[in-house]
């Protein structure tokens, strides 16, 4: 799996490309199934990234609130 260096931006861009290909019907039926599978992996990846980021931001906010004189 090449998920090691996948960024949110890259995943999002790839999702947009897949969506365009499907909308424009430039994808053969054989490849379509693979594209849909790949899209679901990318969507899951993006959702996990967003959840992780939300947790990080909330932790930073908590730390800032706990600092004396803040």
pLDDT tens digits for range 33-66: 899 999 999 999 999 999 999 999 999 999 999 9
Evaluate whether 38 touches 11 at the Cβ level (below 8 Å). Answer: no
pLDDT band for position 12 (cuts 50, 70, 90)? very high
Evaluate whether 27 touches 21 at the Cβ level (below 8 Å). Answer: yes
* Closest to 8 in 3D by CA, of 34, 42, 38, 39: 42
* Closest to 53 in 3D by CA, of 5, 1, 8: 8
pTM for the structure as a whole:
0.73
Evaluate whether 16 touches 42 at the Cβ level (below 8 Å). Answer: no
pLDDT, position 24: 86
pLDDT band for position 4 (cuts 50, 70, 90)? low
């Amino acid at each position: 799996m090449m998920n090691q260096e996948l960024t949110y931006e890259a995943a999002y861009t790839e999702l947009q490309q897949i969506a365009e290909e499907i909308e424009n019907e430039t994808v053969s039926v054989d490849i379509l199934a693979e594209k849909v599978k790949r899209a679901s992996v990318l969507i899951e990846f993006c959702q996990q990234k967003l959840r992780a980021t939300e947790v990080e931001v909330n932790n930073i906010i908590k730390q800032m609130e706990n600092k004396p004189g803040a």
